[in-house]
Amino acid sequence: MKSKTKIVLAITGLALAALACQALTGGGGGGDVDPDAPTTTPSPSVILSDDFSAPNWGTGTDADSSVEYANNALQMIVFTKNYFVWSTPNAEDYQNTHMEVTVINNGTDSTTAFGIMCNQQEVNNNFYYLAMTPAGEYAIAEAADGQKDVFLTNEDAWAASDLIAKDAPSYSVGADCGNGTLTLYVDGQQIASVSDTSYTSGGVALFIWSGEEATTTDVSFDDFLMMELP
Residue 17 lies in a domain: no
pLDDT in tens, 85-125: 999 999 999 999 999 999 999 999 999 999 999 999 987 78
Partners of residue 140 on adjacent β-strands:
130
pLDDT in tens, 13-63: 222 222 222 222 233 333 444 555 555 455 679 999 999 999 999 999 999
Residue 161 lies in a domain: yes
pTM more than 0.75:
yes
Domain interval for residue 157: 4-10+44-228
Residue 135 lies in a domain: yes
Element (H, E) at 35: none
Residue 220 lies in a domain: yes
- Residue 157: which CATH number? 2.60.120.560
Does residue 226 carry a pLDDT above 60? yes
Residue 25 lies in a domain: no
Residue 176 lies in a domain: yes
Residue 155 lies in a domain: yes
Residue 23 lies in a domain: no
Q: Which of 11, 25, 3, 8 is nearest to 207 (CA)?
A: 8
Domain count, the chain: 1
